[in-house]
Amino acid sequence: MIDSFERVLRVAEDVGAYCLWLTSVSEVRVKFYSDRKFMRIEDGKLDMYLPLETIRDAFKN
């Protein structure tokens, strides 16, 4: 996941982006991602996002 976060931050510098979007494979995985600060796009759906600012902040620590 760290590699993905680093890549999305590099790409965002070139193309502009607000968040990392993913589609979870199950509700069990939604819990996994929620514990890592991902948020659902819509209740009951498996689409989730994490603002890039959250990722940037994680690398500052």
Per-residue model confidence as pLDDT tens for the chain (61 residues) = 899 999 999 999 999 899 999 999 999 999 999 999 999 999 999 999 999 999 999 998 6
Would you say 21 and 47 are in contact if contact means Cβ atoms under 8 Å apart? yes
Would you say 22 and 33 are in contact if contact means Cβ atoms under 8 Å apart? yes
pTM for the predicted model, two decimal places: 0.84
The packing angle between helices 2-15 and 52-60, to 10°, is 120
Would you say 5 and 20 are in contact if contact means Cβ atoms under 8 Å apart? yes
